[in-house]
Chain A
Amino acid sequence: MNFSIDRFDELFPGYFAGELSDEDRINMDHWRNASPENELHYIDSVKAWESMTLLREMENFNSFEALQKVNGRLKTPGSARWMNVLKMAAAIFVLPLLAYSGYLTQHNFTLKKMLEEHVVTQTITSRQGMVTQFLLADGTKVWLNSNSELQFPTYFIGDFREVKLKGEAYFEVTKNKHQPFRVNAKELRVEVLGTSFDVANYQDETMQEVILVEGKVGLSVRQDDKSTENSFLQPGQRGVYCEKTGKIVTDEVHVDKYIAWRDGNLIFRDDKMAEVVKRLSRWFNVEIVINDPEIKGYIYKANFRNENLEQVLNLLKISAPIDFSMTERKALPNGEFTRQRVFLSKKRT
Chain B
Amino acid sequence: MKDELLTSGLARRDKVVFDYIFNYYYSSLCAFSMQFLNDRNTVEDLVQDFFVSLWLEAPSHTIHSSLKSYLFTGIKNRCIDFCKHQKVEHKYRKYIFFTATNEDDSAEHFVAESELRHAIESCLEKLPPRCKEIFEMSRFSGLSNQEIAIKLGLSKRTVELQISNGLKILRKELIEYLPVCLVALLLQ
A-to-B contact residues, CB < 8 Å: 9-14, 17, 19, 43-55, 57-64, 66-67, 69-70, 73-74, 76, 78-79, 108, 111-112, 114-115, 118, 120-123, 154, 332-337
For B27, give its contact among A46, A59, A78, A114 (CB under 8 Å): A59
Shortest Cβ distance from residue A95 to the other chain B in the assembled complex, whole angstroms? 22
B26 at the interface (CB under 8 A from A): yes
Per-position 1/0 for B162-187, Cβ under 8 A of A = 01100110110011011111111101
> Are B9 and A70 neighbours in the complex by a CB distance under 8 Å?
no
Measured in the bound complex, the distance between the Cα atoms of B145 and A19 in whole Å is 9
Which residues from A are CB-within-8-Å of B113?
Answer: 55, 58-59
Measured in the bound complex, the distance between the Cα atoms of B51 and A251 in whole Å is 50
B34 at the interface (CB under 8 A from A): yes
A-B pairs with beta carbons under 8 Å apart, 11 shown? A11-B160, A19-B144, A46-B182, A47-B181, A47-B182, A50-B182, A51-B174, A53-B187, A54-B31, A76-B56, A336-B142
> Are A334 and B167 neighbours in the complex by a CB distance under 8 Å?
no
Q: Which residue of B lies closest to A63 (CB)?
A: B26
> Are A10 and B184 neighbours in the complex by a CB distance under 8 Å?
no
With A13-B164, A47-B178, A66-B44 known as contacts, the answer to whether A120 contacts B145 (CB < 8 A) is no
> Are A13 and B117 neighbours in the complex by a CB distance under 8 Å?
no
Which residues from B are CB-within-8-Å of A59?
Answer: 27, 113
Shortest Cβ distance from residue B58 to the other chain A in the assembled complex, whole angstroms? 10
> Are A78 and B56 neighbours in the complex by a CB distance under 8 Å?
yes
Which residues from A are CB-within-8-Å of B179?
Answer: 47
> Are B52 and A74 neighbours in the complex by a CB distance under 8 Å?
yes
Measured in the bound complex, the distance between the Cα atoms of B23 and A111 in whole Å is 16
> Are B19 and A67 neighbours in the complex by a CB distance under 8 Å?
yes
> Are B55 and A48 neighbours in the complex by a CB distance under 8 Å?
no
> Are B52 and A120 neighbours in the complex by a CB distance under 8 Å?
no
Which residues from A are CB-within-8-Å of B16?
Answer: 108, 111-112, 115
For B181, give its contact among A50, A108, A333, A334 (CB under 8 Å): A50
Measured in the bound complex, the distance between the Cα atoms of B43 and A19 in whole Å is 34
- Please count how many residues in chain B sit with their CB below 8 Å of the partner chain's CB atoms: 61
Measured in the bound complex, the distance between the Cα atoms of B56 and A334 in whole Å is 44
B69 at the interface (CB under 8 A from A): no
B1 at the interface (CB under 8 A from A): yes
Q: Which residue of A lies closest to B40 (CB)?
A: A60
With A13-B167, A49-B167, A55-B113 known as contacts, the answer to whether A19 contacts B26 (CB < 8 A) is no
B70 at the interface (CB under 8 A from A): no
Known A51-B119, A111-B14; further 17 A-B contacts with Cβ < 8 A = A11-B164, A14-B160, A47-B179, A50-B181, A51-B178, A51-B181, A55-B117, A57-B34, A63-B23, A67-B22, A69-B48, A70-B48, A74-B52, A74-B55, A78-B56, A115-B17, A120-B23
Q: Which residue of A lies closest to B118 (CB)?
A: A121
Which residues from A are CB-within-8-Å of B119?
Answer: 51
> Are A10 and B181 neighbours in the complex by a CB distance under 8 Å?
no
Which residues from B are CB-within-8-Å of A14?
Answer: 145, 160
Which residues from B are CB-within-8-Å of A78?
Answer: 56
> Are B180 and A66 neighbours in the complex by a CB distance under 8 Å?
no
